[in-house]
Structure 1
Amino acid sequence: MAERELLLGCDIGSSSVKTTLLDAATGKAVAAGSSPHEEMPISSPQKGRAEQDPGMWWENLVAAVQEAMRQADASPKEVRAIGIAYQMHGLVLVDKKQNVLRPAIIWCDSRAASVGDTAFHEIGEAYCLEHYLNSPGNFTASRLKWVMEHEPETFKKADSMLLPGDYIAMRMTGETATTLTGLSEGVLWDFREKQPADLLLSYYGIPEKLLATAHPSFDLHGKLTGKAAKELGLKKRTPVTYKAGDQPNNAFSLNVLNPGEAAATAGTSGVIYAVTDRPAFDPKSRVNTFMHVNNREQSPRNGVLLCVNGTGILNSWLKKILTNESAFDYNDMNRLAMVAVPGSGGLTILPFGNGAERILENREIGAQLLDLDLNRHGRADLCRAVQEGIVFALRYGFDIMRDMGIEPKWVRAGRANMFQSPLFRELFADNTGAVLELYRTDGSEGAARGAGIGAGIFRDEQDAFIGLEKLEVIEPDKERVKVYDELYQNWLTGLSRFLP
């Protein structure tokens, strides 16, 4: 068999680690791996806390890479480059010997919200928005400040602060490095001055030397050490040539690169990510602007991200409490949801039970079940109310983006997670008013395509998307739109009970 030119994409999520081997010649996936088969645990030592052991990510990455290599019957020398996508906003601290100093504080942890809010007001809201395009909020810089204040002995030992993808790249290459997009997602980048956020670092008392060297997303981030190559079953000195947070990477994987284009996901959290060429921001920082993977000085590209933490995690919670039967799965829930009428018989769900929600100005109002009638509502109403509540929450954020002048006419998504539900797809199109395009891809495949660009195997971004397969197009239905406009107003009334 002729030797192939394969690209390895790795997606480090909070639930699982996924890998894809992509044939560079055809743009088609030849194998995929995933680990663990059950969800990775998230530790919550106190209310609003969420932590994971970074070593667990590495162990599952090793398993997922080996699974993909076995499936493809691939030899190590066929893998020409590696790309990494990762859960955003996490904080990993390592010492001079690259030992992890404490569990990673991950994306849905709320502990630093008040730290960032105080900085927002004391530095000056106008300054933060004009320079960082965000409040420091509950992001990585604020989390580091929390560690400095509450765990000073740990902070003193820290040599580098890393994002989850930076940690994985460090385990692969032995080098500590980050990306320009990564600095922006931590609110550590000054968009106006085009440099690290010196004033915020000074305000927090964070030494700039803790920031790892920053590269573009498409770049050489190091090469596999002998130790890492042996563990992964790959060739020593295989280059790591792409790294990006999961949402910019998801947009990239769907070829969403230019102003007016948008991508969506509906996994543990739900996200709509729209590309703009402007330094756009929401005055209340309810949606957030970060540097996109293809940002260049001559052609700026930023991603405006709205996130609803309580998305797939709410659907998963419902599945667990509905039945303990192993045969009852998400397809059964989707069929039940289709049985119920629009509006779920008056049952309303607010899907906000997974930490502080940015679209609610970092409030933690919890998930709420409103107007439950014990004589009328059953499993079908619950299943539909969950899907409607999630989409209404996404619509709430989408309206904030519209107020910023960002209104994509179409949104692309992979047919995965909640987008596997026909009802969810219909609800999404009818409530956003955008045409929904579904593709056969995922974050690990996107990371593989990114590795191909970074390694120079693909000539350009257009060349990287050969083989990307469109599966379905869902357009808004005018009659259903009228129905959901009214139901959405009812949902807003329910939400108003929990907001000042």
Structure 2
Amino acid sequence: MKYVIGIDLGTSSVKTLLVNKEGEIKGEATASYPLIHERPGYSEQNPEEWVNGTVACLKQLLQESGVAAEEIEGISFSGQMHGLVLLDEQNQVLRNAMLWNDTRTTQECREIEAKLGNQLLDITRNAALEGFTLPKILWVQKHEPELFAKAARFVLPKDYLRYRMTGRVQMEISDAAGTLLLNVPEGAWSDEIVRAFGLPEGFCPPLLGSTEEAGTLLPEFAQRCGLSPNTRVFGGGADNACGAVGAGIVRQGDALCSIGTSGVVLTYEEDKSKDFGGKVHFFNHAHSGAFYAMGVTLAAGYSLSWFKDSLAPGLSFDELLAPVGSLPPGAEGLLFTPYLVGERTPHADSVIRGSFIGLSGTHRREHLARAVMEGITFSLAESVELFREAGISVERVISIGGGAKNPVWLQMQADIFGTPVVSLKNEQGPAMGAAMMAAVGSGWFGSLKDCADRFIGYGKTYEPIPANAAAYARLFKVYQQVYAATRSLNEGLQEFRG
């Protein structure tokens, strides 16, 4: 029997999956590591923690599964996006990695916009946000000039891990798309942006495809974790790209709805001319020549967790949501906007906050719970609407995360999105997507589409109920008015916030 390993290098932990040729999971291991918060808004990590955690997981996989090292053909990766790892001429790490959720770079974002103007969206297809990598590079360049003078190149988190495994410094393209240094439509580094900010020659490493082989394991790394040095290592993908692959978003017409702490709606696209004016993210996909458009709701599942912890701390989620299904769409005239921590899509606004609109004395806890679920889904539907306005077909939504665990919420998604919604039989997320990239790279399948047909099983399909869909279409128009109506009110409240 032959196997591949998918490694998901996350923000708080690394997860590894051992998968056979039928897509069956034969081993799993996880190791956590700390975040470093020296000041408010700072979020860093020591890259050595990623290496040590991965080694521990790989050793555990082999020991617990009993699989021989020679039976493992390939390894690939999913990685947290945008994190800055600066390397010197000897590829030694110069400082802790600045992570995607590090928000110290607002001024650098404004400088990028001022210097590049319309070129920024024309080239990168994305707006300058604090999470991206280029603002972090400029922050170090400005605030740590002596250290930056030693920087020869940069990589992203999973690409650093792959370097430590293979000895080759490369950057995989779906992750490179989140740096603000890549010409996304052309799939190449932007010389214009590199020159505009005076970055050194060779600062952007060679690009690598997601299923392209990066090399084999260094003998010393193979010995540390018990693998064979002949194990092939492949490019991998950004966590969102891998999550999409792991959910089967591999053909046009399919979209992903992921409701975790934040929420993501993501769709597959092959037309590189799509331009959303920066309202949604547009990145290179793990599939060669393909892209994905992505909208983000900052407080998706977090809104429901906040509601439960604040108003029903003694109930489980199942108990809290049990009465919701008996209520009609619209929660009897109650709306919720999930702006608890600001919003991302389509309103990049850090000041806006959430609202209950239409609250009356007849509303009970179950009305508020339903309104929260509907408000989260409406926010995600705004991204779906942007996709459709740009000519992207959304024919089916594959739902994962917390929103896929509740049948009422799955039906609600179908009714609000106006399209069939289906859950997965075995949801494994980005780690499975990484394993699929290793499977394709190893030659088990001709494409990620072929691999998805074998590896991914779908659950029940929820079709839109026409009467509900019509009611939600009317309510959605009301929901879309709330942001503009409350924006100035929230600005006025800003001075009173703790």
Letter in 2 for 1:120: E
1:204-243 per-residue CA deviation (whole Å, 9 max, x = no partner) reads 2222422122111111123223443344343334221131
What is the deviation of 1:27?
2.4
Post-superposition offset of 1:266: 2.0
Q: 1:128 to 1:433 in 2, by over 3 A?
A: same
Matches within 5 A, 1:366-385: 366-371=352-357, 379-385=365-371
Q: Distance in 2 between matches of 1:114 and 1:249?
A: 31
Aligned residue identity for 1:102: R
1:376 and 1:48 mapped to 2: Cα distance? 41
Q: What amino acid is the match of 1:154?
A: L
1:303 aligned to 283, 287, 292, which one? 292
| Structure 2 segments unaligned to the other structure (5+ residues) | 489-498
1:292 aligned to which of 261, 265, 285: 285
CA distance in 2, matches of 1:101, 1:446: 31
Unpaired segments of 5 or more residues in structure 1? none
Cα pair 2:172 2:210 within 8 Å, conserved: yes
State whether structure 2 residue 445 is matched by structure 1 residue 474: no
Are 2:436 and 1:449 equivalent residues in the alignment?
Answer: yes
- 1:271-350 equivalences in 2 (<5 Å): 271-295=264-288, 300-321=289-310, 329-335=316-322, 337-338=324-325, 342-344=329-331, 348-350=335-337
Match in the other structure for 1:27: 23
Choose from 433, 437, 445 the match for 2:422.
Answer: 437
Residue of structure 2 aligned with 1:394, choices 372, 377, 380: 380
Matched with 1:75 is 68
2:401 pairs with 1:412: no
Q: Distance in 2 between matches of 1:374 and 1:85?
A: 46
Counterpart-to-counterpart distance in 2, 1:286 and 1:301: 19
C-alpha distance in structure 2 between counterparts of 1:316 and 1:193, whole Å: 41
Change over 3 Å in CA distance of 1:92–1:375 after alignment to 2: farther
- CA distance, structure 2, for counterparts of residue 21 and residue 94 of structure 1: 31
Residues 120 and 137 in structure 1, CA contact (< 8 A), matched pair in contact too:
no
Distance in 1 (CA, whole Å) between partners of 2:342 and 2:54 is: 26
Change (3 A) 1:42 1:481: farther
Matched, 1:219 2:215: no
Inter-CA distance 260–175: structure 2 relative to 1 (3 Å threshold): same
Distance 2:294 2:71 in 1: 36
Aligned residues: 484
| Residue 491 (structure 2) aligns with | none
What secondary structure sits across from 2:392 in the alignment?
coil
- Are residues 220 and 111 of structure 1, via their aligned partners in 2, closer, same or farther at CA, if it must alter by over 3 Å? same
- In the alignment, the residues of structure 1 paired with residue 90 and residue 362 of structure 2 have an alpha-carbon distance, to the nearest angstrom, of 61
Q: How far did 1:23 drift? A: 0.6
Query: Which residue of structure 2 lines up, in the alignment, with residue 17 of structure 1?
Result: 14
Q: Is the aligned partner of 1:124 residue 2:117?
A: yes
Residues 175-324 of structure 1: pairs in structure 2 closer than 5 A: 175-191=168-184, 195-295=188-288, 300-321=289-310
1:348 to partner: Cα distance: 4.1
CA RMSD after TM alignment:
3.0
1:135 to 117, 127, 132: 127
Q: Which amino acid aligns with 2:477?
A: Q
8 A Cα contact 1:352 1:365, kept in partner:
no
> Which of residues 5, 8, 12 is equivalent to 2:5?
8
Q: Deviation digits for residues 440-486 of structure 1, max 9, x if unmatched?
A: 24221121111011122334434423142111211111111123223
> Normalising by the residue count of structure 2, what TM-score does the alignment of the two structures yield?
0.86
Once the two structures are TM-superposed, the CA of residue 253 in structure 1 deviates from its matched residue by 2.1
CA–CA separation in structure 2 for the residues paired with 1:21 and 1:270: 27
- The 5 Å alignment of 1:46-61 reads 48-61=41-54
Shift of the 371–28 alpha-carbon distance from structure 1 to 2, 3 Å rule, reads: same
Specify the SS of the correspondent of 1:20: strand
Aligned to 2:495: none
What is the deviation of 1:172?
A: 2.3
* In 2: Cα distance, 1:478 partner to 1:324 partner: 35
Residues 486 and 372 of structure 1: CA distance in aligned 2, closer, same or farther (over 3 Å) = closer
Distance 1:324 1:334, change over 3 A: closer
Q: Which residue of 1 aligns with 2:79?
A: 86
**Partner amino acid for 1:209?**
G
> 2:231 is paired with a residue of what secondary structure?
coil
Counterpart residue type for residue 129 of structure 1: L
8 Å CA contact 2:335–2:356 kept in 1: the answer is yes
Give the drift of 1:97: 4.7
The alpha-carbon deviation at position 366 of structure 1 amounts to 5.0
How much identity, in percent, do the aligned residues show? 26
Distance 1:192 1:22 in 2: 33
Which secondary structure does the structure 2 equivalent of 1:221 belong to?
Answer: strand
306-315 or 164-173, which deviates more: 306-315
Q: Cα 1:438–1:97, aligned 2, differ >3 Å: closer, same or farther?
A: same
